[in-house]
């Protein structure tokens, strides 16, 4: 199992252009070289900077319709960059966002297929199975935010939770029953008890979740927990903060971080 973090920032980071330097692009990650989860306006620069082979990407999965997580022109650009003759790129996105933000122009109809889903649905990306769960993160009346419990063909289980505040009960109970090898949680608010906690999380919440899900057996000492989606204006500088949260067993992700399971 391999994860490449293409971006680890919340929506308040400026676009760094072709080289990210000490900044962060909007949150996005590549799973096993084939599944791109979230794809905002800076994703293509990250794909180029970190030498991602777009021909290997078969699926793009979007957690919710905010502009830092989905950018249809960039998704179409990625579809066009793939070599001819490949099966269409599958774009999995919640039904409301698919209707509002995912219009496919006729000239792209053969290279991309939009596959809408709803919270509670299960869908496949090749042999990888995604189950979508509701998240506390408002977008618009018809657009829902989902987190995912992802079952990988190599037998690993991953939680992808961007963006969101406290978990709704159905999501919480599903998490309790899982056995996670990897978790990606959002840490938008850093250590601050900020007004955004109604739709995002901070480190106090992550510590509670880690303890609670450890008590349930969903998290073990071997579970790798990454934090992503850090807000520029709310989180301490990376090196300082990475050391601080490592004391509690969390890994602060950074753009370009490549992680492989043993």
Q: Could you give the strand order of the β-sheet that contains 128-134, starting from the edge strand earlier in sequence?
A: 122-125, 128-134, 146-151, 157-161, 182-186, 224-228, 250-252
* Shortest spacing between CB 240 and Zn ion, in angstroms: 23
Pattern 9-48, Zn ion, x by CB under 5 A: ----------------------------------------
Given the rule CB under 5 A, which of 55-63, 78-86, 155-163, 202-210 is the region that contacts Zn ion?
155-163
Pairwise CA distance, residues 126 & 193, whole Å: 40
Q: What is the C-alpha separation between 73 and 194, in angstroms, rounded?
A: 33
How many residues bind Zn ion (CB under 5 A)? The answer is 3
Question: Is residue 209 within 8 Å of 185, Cβ to Cβ?
Answer: yes
Determine the length of the chain: 262
Of 1, 43, 24, residue with least CA distance to 230? 24
Q: How far is the CB of 87 from Zn ion (least distance, A)?
A: 29
Q: Which C-beta is closer to Zn ion: that of 8 or that of 128?
A: 8
For residue 249, the minimal CB distance to Zn ion (Å) is 24
Q: Could you tell me the smallest distance in angstroms from the CB atom of residue 242 to Zn ion?
A: 20
Alpha-carbon gap, residue 89 to 113, rounded angstroms: 6
Stretch that binds Zn ion, among 61-69, 104-112, 165-173, 174-182 (CB under 5 A): 61-69
Candidates 177, 206, 212, 172; CA nearest to 189 is 206
Beta bridge partners of 171: none
**If we measure between CA atoms, which residue out of 230, 235, 226, 234 comes closest to residue 257?**
226
Residue nearest to Zn ion (CB): 66
What is the token pair recorded at 123? 């869908």
161-200 mask for Zn ion (x: CB under 5 A)?
A: --x-------------------------------------
Are the beta carbons of 62 and 93 closer than 8 angstroms?
yes
68 or 181: CB nearest Zn ion = 68
- On whether the CB atoms of residues 152 and 32 are closer than 8 A, the answer is yes
Q: Which stretch binds Zn ion (CB under 5 A): 59-67, 173-181, 211-219, 245-253?
A: 59-67
Contacts of 90 (CB under 8 A, 6+ apart): 58, 59, 60, 112, 113, 115, 125
* Beta carbon of residue 64, minimum distance to Zn ion (angstroms, whole number): 6
With CB under 5 A as the contact rule, the residue among 49, 59, 68, 181 that binds Zn ion is 68
Pick the stretch among 99-107, 156-164, 170-178, 200-208 that binds Zn ion (CB under 5 A): 156-164
In the complex, what is the shortest distance from the CB of residue 142 to Zn ion, in angstroms, rounded to a whole number? Answer: 15
Q: Does 66 bind Zn ion (CB under 5 A)?
A: yes
Nearer to Zn ion, 184 or 218 (CB): 184
**Smaller CB separation from Zn ion, 151 or 254:** 254
Strand, coil or helix: 57: coil
Residues that bind Zn ion (CB under 5 A): 66, 68, 163
């Amino acid at each position: 199992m391999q994860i490449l973090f293409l971006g680890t920032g919340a929506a308040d980071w400026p676009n760094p252009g072709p080289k990210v330097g000490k900044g962060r692009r909007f949150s996005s990650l590549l799973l096993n070289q084939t599944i791109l989860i979230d794809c905002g306006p800076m994703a293509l620069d990250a794909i180029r900077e970190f030498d991602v082979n777009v021909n290997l990407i078969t699926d793009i999965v979007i957690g919710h319709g905010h502009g830092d997580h989905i950018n249809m022109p960039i998704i179409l650009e990625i579809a066009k960059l793939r070599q001819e003759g490949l099966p269409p790129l599958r774009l999995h996105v919640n039904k409301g966002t698919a209707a509002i933000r995912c219009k496919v122009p006729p000239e792209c109809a053969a290279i991309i297929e939009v596959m809408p889903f709803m919270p509670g649905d299960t869908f496949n990306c090749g042999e990888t199975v995604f189950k979508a769960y509701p998240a506390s993160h408002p977008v618009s009346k018809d657009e829902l935010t989902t987190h995912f419990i992802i079952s990988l063909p190599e037998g690993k289980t991953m939680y992808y939770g961007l963006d969101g505040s406290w978990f709704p009960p159905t999501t919480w109970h599903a998490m309790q029953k899982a056995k996670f090898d990897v978790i990606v949680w959002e840490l938008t608010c850093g250590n601050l008890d900020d007004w955004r906690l109604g739709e995002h999380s901070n480190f106090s919440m992550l510590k509670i979740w880690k303890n609670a899900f450890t008590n349930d057996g969903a998290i073990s000492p071997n579970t790798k927990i990454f934090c992503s989606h850090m807000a520029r204006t709310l989180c301490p500088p990376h090196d300082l903060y990475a050391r601080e949260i490592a004391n509690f067993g969390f890994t602060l992700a950074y753009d370009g971080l490549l992680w492989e399971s043993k």
